[in-house]
Structure 1
Amino acid sequence: MPDVGAGLFFIAAGVAGLWFGRGYPLGSLAQMGPGFFPKVISAALIGIGVTVALRARHSEAADLFGNWPWRALLLIPASLILFSLFVPTFGIVPATASLIILSGLATGEARFGELIWLATALTVFSIVVFVYGLGLGFRVIPWD
C-alpha cells in the first residue's frame, strides 16, 4: 500500500513542522505571528496524510514494501544535501544546477539535454529572484 506510506510521510512531515515551529508565537488572524504559517501548513499536512492513509487503507493496493522507486529515494535527498552544502561553499549557480540535474535524473525518463536547459533556466530565475530581487547575500559563483 504505497498510499499508506505516503500518508504516513505527510503525517510525519506535519508533526515535524509542528515540533520545529513550537517556539514561534502564533499571533492572531489579524496579526499573524511567525509561527502561524508553519503551524497551519503542518496541520494541513497532517490532515492530508490522515485522509490519504485512510483512503488507501480501504482500497486494494500493493504491499507497503512493494515496488519502491529506489533511484528517486536516493537521488532526491542527495540532491538536497548537495544543494545545502554547495550554496555556502560554491555559490547558487552550481548548487541550483546540481539540485535540478540530480533530482531530474531520479525519474530515469528525463533526457540530459533537457535537464541542462531546465537547470540553466531555473538557475537564472533563482539568481534574479533571490540575489537581485530579494537582495539575499548568496554567493553566485565560487569566485564571487
Structure 2
Amino acid sequence: MRSGLRLRNQKDFAAGVIYIVAGAAFALGALNYRIGEASRMGPGWFPFAIGILLTLVGFATLYNGLRKSAAVERIKRPHPSTIAWVLGAVVLFGLLLQPMGMVLSLLVLVLVSSRASHEFTWTGALLNAIALTVFSMLVFIWGIDLQIPLWPAFMQ
C-alpha cells in the first residue's frame, strides 16, 4: 500500500507553482522598499502583503492538485495561435494606451485576447470589456489618480 501525495490534477498543480513563484517574487521585491508597520505603512507594505497572499493561494491550489479527490486533469499543449492572440493583445494595449486612451485600449485588449478562446462570443467579450473598463476607471483613475488619458486627445 502506497501512501503520500500523487499528482492528479496537473492544471491545479501548475497554477499553484506559478502563484507561488509570482507571490514570492513580489514579496521579495517588496523588501527593497520600506515596509513600515500596520499603523504607518510604507511603499513596500501592499506588494509584500499581496505577494504573501498569492503565495498562500498558490500552496492551497498546489495541494488541491495533489488530493485524492481531485479531478484528473492534464495540461494540454497550448496552440501557437492562442499565445499569439493574447501576446498580440497586450502589445496592442501598450501601443494604443497613450494615443487612444484607456477606454479604447482596454476594448481592443479584451476583444483581441478573447479571440484566443474557443468559447469566444462577441456579447461576452463586450460585456467583459465594459466591466474591465469600469473597474479600471474606478481603481486607476479615480482611486489612485493615475494620469492616464481616458479618451484620445481629439475626443477631449
Normalization by structure 2: what TM-score?
Answer: 0.70
Report whether the alignment pairs 1:10 with 2:10: no
Structure showing greater radius of gyration is: 2
Aligned partner of 2:32 in structure 1 is: 23
Bigger shift: residues 113-122 or 74-83: 113-122
Does structure 2 conserve the Cα–Cα contact (< 8 Å) formed by 1:93 and 1:141? no
CA offsets 1:57-92 (integer angstroms, 9 cap, x no match): 3446334xx324546555344433322232123322
Q: Quick one: which amino acid aligns to residue 141 of structure 1?
A: P
In structure 1, the partner of 2:95 is 85
Q: 1:107 aligns with which of 108, 117, 121?
A: 117
Alignment: residue pair count:
140
Contact 1:6/1:53 (8 A) holds in 2 = yes
Pair 1:4–1:74, CA change in 2 (3 A): farther
Identity %: 24
Q: Which moved more, 1:87-96 or 1:24-33?
A: 87-96
Q: Which residue of 2 aligns with 1:141?
A: 152
Q: Distance in 2 between matches of 1:47 and 1:126?
A: 25
Counterpart among 73, 98, 103 of residue 62 in structure 1: 73
Give the partner amino acid of 1:103.
S
Provide the C-alpha distance between the structure 1 equivalents of 2:136 and 2:15, rounded to a whole number of angstroms.
Answer: 33
> Given residue 106 of structure 2, which amino acid in structure 1 is its aligned partner?
T
Deviates more, 1:13-22 or 1:75-84: 75-84
Q: Distance in 1 between matches of 2:53 and 2:124?
A: 34
Gaps of 5+ in 1: none
Q: Distance in 1 between matches of 2:89 and 2:130?
A: 16
Following superposition, the deviation at residue 113 of structure 1 comes to 4.2
Structure 1: 4+ residue segments shifted above 6 A? none
**Once superposed, what is the RMSD of the aligned Cα atoms?**
2.9
